[in-house]
């Protein structure tokens, strides 16, 4: 329930940050003025005893986030990929959250598997290891299927994880509502919608059948992508709380030292991670939505092995074209066109000035165009972008939240492998290929063919709709408002017939 009882949850959040020392770390990362740091510590100190103690052996921030629960851990995982935003030391500290959290007992995992799959673990698996990785929602065991000898990864949800997430999400919803009520200017950022989007995304992770379906679809989409591997799903050993995948052998992406020692080309790997993500997002409209280092491995032959498909993103074709045009405009430094695309898509209110918006975008693009990652401060850039959205009254686009968040994460992964990466240079071939396939004359014919297929399905109904509309036009009802739907149907039928005829002419020419 999203009532006032969540105030206690939020108080304990702040108190936990104070008690663990994480509050000071955050204030330092934010470069808060010394007076502000002192004031915040003085105010929070009397309430620190109300916070969770956490694991005193962990650094302050990871200690606080792990004590607060899975939703907070998710946020920490995202920040762990952004050393340019939070600093190298803090990013290394947060990397612990990716796959090294305390596991739950193997015996509980075995009991879950036996209850879910109605099997005996020792009868089905000839080998079943202790946990090899533990994250916020589940942990993974390495196993071998007795009947085939196949090595697999068995993922098992944490006990009572659903309830833990609900507790956190309820508090987030309550905080968003309070924020909107007390700070009307925050409404354009749509905090409630953002939290709802986060909930919809994360709750899908709590049903491993859905994650398995995502992995299967992702594997089909990317089967022709050279050097990219998605382990196969074993559906016979998969259920709501258990998922079994083929084993993906490789070096974890967060162990960059080992990757270099193995003789792999880190620069090429960093470029390819970003290249593949853009390809999946633009070409397929279906992309890995949690592509941090803990969910990637590098095989000794250079293959990129993807793991953990609980959060996947999907964007429709129109949005993909808008996104590609915006990227392409930045790559060509055509800021006027970038501004026009924002207005055409409705991302910027129509009463704003397109030229002024283009000038603001130039201030974003020019300082980073042609520069490598070491010369760009993403913290300052993100701060300026936030100011631009405020100046021009832009609302948060919830349909793009996951794409934007994942883009930030993937860029962070690429930076960790290739600190000098030039994102524009890497992105250019992917975006140009998509533009040529999706916005030129070829795309027009493709769109017309899709329209024809849709109209063909409704073809048998068009004559009846047209006849009914014409009869209503000749004998309109007394109430003019009742006539409007019939007139609209007539227009739809007539327009559909004309469009169908046009497509037919195009096809035969």
Q: What is the DSSP letter of 105?
A: P
Chain-centre distance for alpha carbon 95: 18
Catalogue the active-site residues: 290
Give CA–CA dist 267/249, Å, rounded: 21
**What are the CA-CA distances from residue 218 to residues 286, 297, 311, 350, 437 (Å)?**
7, 17, 12, 38, 21
Give CA–CA dist 393/271, Å, rounded: 35
Q: What is the DSSP string of 253-286?
A: TT-HHHHHHTT--HHHHHHHHHHHHHHIIIIISE
**What are the CA-CA distances from residue 288 to residues 175, 201, 217, 238 (Å)?**
28, 12, 11, 20
Retrieve residue 359's tokens. Answer: 């000038």
Angle at 31 between CA 198 and CA 84, to 5 degrees: 60
**What is the crossing angle of helices 378-391 and 354-365, to 10°?**
170
**What are the CA-CA distances from residue 323 to residues 334, 346, 404 (Å)?**
14, 13, 10
SS3 214: helix
**What is the crossing angle of helices 60-68 and 6-20, to 10°?**
160
CB-CB contact of 415 with 269 (8 Å): no
SS3 162: helix
In degrees and rounded to multiples of 5, residue 243 shows phi and psi of -135, 135
- The residue whose two tokens read 């009947």 is 147
Its sign, for the CA torsion 442, 448, 454, 460, is: negative
Retrieve residue 14's tokens. Answer: 């702040």
- The residue whose two tokens read 């009742």 is 482
């Amino acid at each position: 329930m999203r009532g006032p009882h969540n105030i206690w949850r939020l108080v304990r959040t702040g108190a936990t940050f104070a008690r663990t020392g994480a509050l000071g770390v955050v204030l330092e990362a934010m470069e808060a003025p010394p007076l502000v740091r002192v004031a915040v510590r003085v105010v929070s100190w009397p309430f620190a005893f109300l916070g969770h103690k956490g694991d005193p052996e962990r650094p302050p921030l990871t200690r606080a986030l792990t004590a607060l629960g899975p939703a907070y851990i998710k946020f920490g995982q995202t920040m762990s990929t952004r050393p340019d935003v939070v600093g190298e030391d803090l990013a290394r500290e947060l990397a612990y959250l990716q796959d090294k959290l305390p596991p739950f007992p193997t015996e509980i995992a075995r009991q879950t598997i036996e209850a879910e799959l109605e099997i005996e673990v020792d009868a089905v698996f000839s080998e079943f290891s202790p946990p090899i990785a533990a994250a916020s929602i589940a942990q993974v065991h390495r196993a071998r299927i007795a009947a085939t000898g196949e090595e697999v990864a068995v993922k098992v949800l944490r006990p009572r994880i659903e309830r833990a997430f609900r507790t956190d999400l309820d508090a987030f919803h309550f905080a968003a509502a309070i924020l909107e009520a007390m700070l009307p200017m925050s409404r354009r950022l749509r905090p409630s919608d953002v939290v709802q989007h986060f909930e919809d995304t994360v709750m899908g992770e709590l049903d491993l059948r859905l994650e398995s379906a995502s992995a299967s679809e992702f594997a089909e989409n990317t089967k022709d992508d050279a050097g990219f591997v998605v382990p196969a799903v074993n559906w016979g050993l998969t259920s709501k709380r258990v998922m079994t995948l083929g084993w993906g052998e490789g070096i974890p992406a967060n162990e960059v030292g080992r990757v270099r020692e193995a003789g792999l080309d880190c620069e090429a790997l960093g470029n390819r991670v970003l290249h593949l993500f853009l390809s999946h997002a633009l070409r397929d409209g279906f992309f890995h939505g949690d592509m941090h280092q803990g969910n990637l491995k590098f095989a000794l032959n250079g293959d990129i092995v993807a793991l953990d498909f609980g959060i996947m993103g999907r964007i429709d074709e129109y949005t993909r074209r808008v996104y590609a045009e915006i990227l392409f405009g930045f790559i060509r430094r055509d800021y006027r066109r970038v501004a026009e695309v924002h207005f055409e898509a409705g991302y910027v209110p129509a009463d704003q000035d397109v030229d002024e918006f283009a000038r603001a975008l130039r201030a974003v693009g020019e300082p980073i165009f042609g520069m490598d990652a070491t010369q760009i401060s993403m913290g300052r850039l993100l701060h300026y972008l936030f100011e631009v959205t405020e100046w021009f009254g832009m609302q948060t686009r919830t349909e793009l939240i996951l794409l934007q968040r994942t883009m930030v994460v993937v860029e962070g992964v690429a930076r960790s492998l290739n600190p000098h990466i030039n994102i524009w240079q890497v992105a250019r071939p992917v975006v140009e290929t998509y533009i040529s396939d999706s916005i030129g004359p070829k795309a027009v014919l493709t769109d017309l063919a899709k329209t024809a297929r849709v109209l063909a399905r409704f073809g048998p109904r068009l004559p009846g709709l047209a006849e009914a509309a014409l009869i209503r036009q000749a004998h309109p009802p007394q109430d003019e408002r009742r006539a409007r739907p019939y007139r609209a149907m007539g227009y739809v039928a007539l327009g559909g017939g004309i469009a169908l005829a046009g497509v037919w002419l195009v096809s035969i020419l």
